[in-house]
Amino acid sequence: MGEGAGAAGVDVIIRGARRSDALALYEIMSKPKVIWGTTVMPCTSELTAEKALGEENRHWFIATRARDGHVLGYLYLDWGHGRWRRIASLVMAIHDDAAGQGVGRMLLDKAIHVGFQYLDLQRIELEVYVDNPAAIHLYEKVGFVHEGTKRRNAIRDGVHVDGHMMAILKPLDG
């Protein structure tokens, strides 16, 4: 469990996932900015969130408000099989009402640490829409590097939007 204060001073605890998080995850996945910034479907279901919680080879990080346990955001790492075992993809979202308060940064710091120091990952990669500067800025700040751009990567509100591929490698001496 990790604790700390986000940039705006909100006290945050980062913990693993619980079965009972499905409803809170569904609520975050239903927020307009989250649908805009991710590949979550509009009108997703609590069942989808529940299934996502049960995926194998996936490690969850849940950001909660320290004073009442309210779920503020989530991040998960999915690692591969065979020769991709040490490569993971990262997905994250912060509740619309909690964005811009440093919660995303805390989740990323925790996931990168656990990913490299406990899951034994060598590489963490992600895809981000090219028109999501807040996310790109945050990823660059923690060390992700732009590796290329996928054209027409995913459809959003009828438009096929390009996506940047970004990745961070475990430091060779880390």
In terms of Cβ atoms closer than 10 Å to its own Cβ (0-12, 13-18, 19+), residue 75 is: buried
Q: Is 141 helix (H, G, I), strand (E, B) or coil?
A: helix
Give the shortest CB-156-to-ligand COA separation in angstroms: 11
The identity of residue 161, as a single letter, is V
Q: Site residues for ligand COA, window 67-96 (CB under 6 A)?
A: 92-94
Q: Site residues for ligand COA, window 33-52 (CB under 6 A)?
A: 33-34, 37-38
Nearest to 104 by CA among 47, 33, 44: 33
The reply on whether position 132 binds ligand COA by CB under 6 A is: yes
Cβ atoms of 43 and 27 closer than 8 Å: no
- Tokens 């829409």 belong to 129
| Of the residues 24, 101, 110, 112, which one makes contact with ligand COA according to CB under 6 A | 101
Whats the size of the chain, residue-wise? Answer: 174
- Cα four-point dihedral sign 170, 84, 1, 134: positive
| Of the residues 15, 105, 123, 156, which one makes contact with ligand COA according to CB under 6 A | 105
The reply on whether position 104 binds ligand COA by CB under 6 A is: yes
- Cα four-point dihedral sign 28, 144, 59, 13: negative
Neighbours of 163 (CB within 10 A): 21
Give the shortest CB-119-to-ligand COA separation in angstroms: 20
Contact region for ligand COA (CB under 6 A) — 10-18, 42-50, 103-111, 151-159? 103-111
Contact region for ligand COA (CB under 6 A) — 9-17, 50-58, 100-108, 112-120? 100-108
Please list the residues that pair with 59 across neighbouring strands.
77
The reply on whether position 165 binds ligand COA by CB under 6 A is: no
Contact region for ligand COA (CB under 6 A) — 11-19, 50-58, 102-110, 148-156? 102-110
Contact positions vs ligand COA (CB under 6 A): 7, 33-34, 37-38, 92-94, 99-105, 128, 132-135, 137-138, 141
